[in-house]
Amino acid sequence: MTAMERKLVVAAALVDDLGAPTALLAARRSRPAELAGMWEFPGGKVDPGETPVEALHRELSEELGVEVELGDEVVGPDDGAWVITDRHVMRLWVARVTGGEPQPLVEHDELRWLRRGELMDVPWLTGDVRIVEHLRAGVLAD
Ligand SMILES: Nc1nc2c([nH]c(=O)n2[C@H]2C[C@H](O)[C@@H](COP(=O)(O)OP(=O)(O)OP(=O)(O)O)O2)c(=O)[nH]1
């Protein structure tokens, strides 16, 4: 399957400061059972008729109860995106919370702000590991 044939997932690398980020928000999945306990970037699938950016704002509102300001897209190696599973490709934006306090409302049972040296302290979903490494190398400052 090429990146183009996979289902598009959009997600946010939520950081404390868009200009000089020092911490990243990780979310622990509570479902489905095969993903429960693993950590990910909050987000979800793009619905028909939605743009990716609209879908991202909707997902962050539903999942965390927050409004966000988007920064740059974290461009990936797979036609500009990130293949995360054999059926999904993800586009990811750096983002900052502008309204509300992130809560694990649905799909997640814990949130954690990770500083640069703590990024690998949680078990990320397999497809996310190289994305976190990319952020550690480029986006997050010490
Ligand atoms: N949201 C999100 N999904 C990820 C990440 N990494 C990763 O492999 N995935 C996978 C898990 C799922 O198989 C798929 C996204 O599905 P989802 O369950 O989050 O999407 P959704 O909220 O729209 O779900 P649904 O309406 O179909 O129930 O992508 C990630 O960092 N964030």
Question: Which residue minimizes the CA distance to atom 27 of ligand 1?
Answer: 45
Ligand 1 geometric centre to CA of 32 (Å): 10
Q: Express each pLDDT in 51-72 by its tens digit.
A: 999 999 999 999 999 999 999 9
Distances (CA, A) of 78 to 20, 96, 111: 27, 25, 28
The model's pLDDT over 20-61, given as tens digits with 9 standing for 90+, comes to 999 999 999 999 999 999 999 999 999 999 999 999 999 999
**Nearby residues of 117 by Cβ (< 8 Å), 6 or more positions away:** 142
Ligand 1, atom 18, residue with closest C-alpha: 44
Residues with CB under 6 A from ligand 1: 9, 11, 35, 40-41, 43-45, 84-85, 88, 90, 125, 127-128
pLDDT for residue 90 is more than 70: yes
Q: Give 127 Cα–ligand 1 centroid separation in angstroms.
A: 11
Ligand 1 atom 9 nearest Cα? 84
Q: Go through the domains of the chain in sequence order and give each one's CATH number.
A: 3-138 (3.90.79.10)
Give this complex's ipTM.
Answer: 0.93
